[in-house]
């Protein structure tokens, strides 16, 4: 299987792997087998594998240009990816009752939400930033549609998760849990006081690692040409 056929198959597998496990009947069975943490870990691993396949399939699809290349486009991901990697490092493995798995609600302090003061979904926001930042330098149909879809799904996913939690908790608990979270730029003073320097450093190291491996893995240098 190659070309558009592989791209379509990768999309189908990606969507099914995300929709089926969260259906209440499937989720209950998987949680009973794996436990809550095992379910979240397995779901995350499958999501990463499916995403990797989808990206590779998009790269192997026929090249149909939608817009042309300009040197400025390479600056967009280089300026945004450090922030995306830091958000990812801050968001992974923390108590976050607003996330897909609702991880560690008993350890979450609504009065000191950390990075959740900025956004209740730092991992999804990191994915949105990654996808949106890579759209300008990837002007062929397969990659542009893939990245645009990831950005849209991330934005929709944030709203959908908030709506689901709000319905499940009720207005009183929702207000108590979320009152100091998701404030975006208004959260910057609080965020500066509670941010984990170690996790920020891990995010920047991860960004440098991605930068150094980009050409070897994907065959394209991410660095802008300085003239």
Which pTM was predicted?
A: 0.85
C-alpha distances in Å from residue 21, one per residue of 128, 136, 164: 22, 33, 16
Return phi, psi of residue 65, to 5°: -65, 135
On whether both 50 and 120 belong to a single domain, the answer is no
The residue length of the chain stands at 227
Where a domain ends, among 45, 62, 79? Answer: 62
On whether both 150 and 192 belong to a single domain, the answer is yes
Q: What is the pLDDT of residue 227?
A: 43
What's the N-to-C CA distance of the chain in angstroms? 42
Helix axes 197-218 and 75-91, enclosed angle (nearest 10): 130
Q: What is the pLDDT of residue 65?
A: 92
* DSSP annotation of 181: S
Where a domain ends, among 62, 85, 105? Answer: 62
Where a domain ends, among 29, 62, 95? Answer: 62
User: Does residue 210 contact residue 143 with C-beta atoms inside 8 Å?
Assistant: no
Residue 39: count of CB within 10 angstroms of its CB: 21
Q: What is the pLDDT of residue 194?
A: 67
Domain residue limits at 2: 1-62
On whether both 204 and 226 belong to a single domain, the answer is yes
* DSSP annotation of 175: H
pLDDT tens-digit profile of 125-176? Answer: 999 999 999 999 999 999 999 999 999 999 999 999 899 888 888 998 888 8
């Amino acid at each position: 299987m190659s070309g558009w056929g592989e791209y379509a198959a990768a999309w189908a597998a990606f969507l099914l792997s995300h929709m089926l496990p969260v259906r209440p009947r499937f989720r209950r069975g998987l949680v009973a087998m794996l436990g809550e943490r095992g379910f979240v870990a397995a779901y995350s691993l499958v999501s990463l594998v499916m995403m990797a396949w989808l990206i590779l399939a998009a790269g192997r699809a026929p090249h149909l240009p939608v817009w042309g290349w300009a040197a400025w486009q390479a600056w967009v991901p280089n300026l945004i990816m450090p922030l995306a990697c830091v958000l990812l490092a801050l968001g992974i493995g923390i108590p976050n009752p607003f996330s897909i798995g609702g991880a560690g609600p008993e350890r979450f302090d609504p009065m000191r939400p950390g990075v959740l003061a900025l956004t209740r979904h730092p991992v999804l926001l990191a994915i949105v930033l990654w996808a949106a930042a890579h759209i300008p330098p990837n002007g062929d149909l397969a990659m542009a549609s893939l990245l645009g879809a990831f950005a849209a799904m991330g934005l929709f996913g944030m709203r959908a998760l908030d709506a689901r939690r709000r319905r499940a908790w009720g207005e009183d608990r929702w207000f108590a849990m979320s009152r100091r979270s998701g404030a975006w730029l208004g959260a910057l003073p609080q965020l500066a006081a509670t941010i984990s320097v170690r996790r920020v450093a891990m995010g920047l190291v991860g960004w440098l690692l991605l930068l150094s491996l980009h050409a070897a893995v994907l065959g394209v240098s991410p660095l802008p040409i300085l003239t």
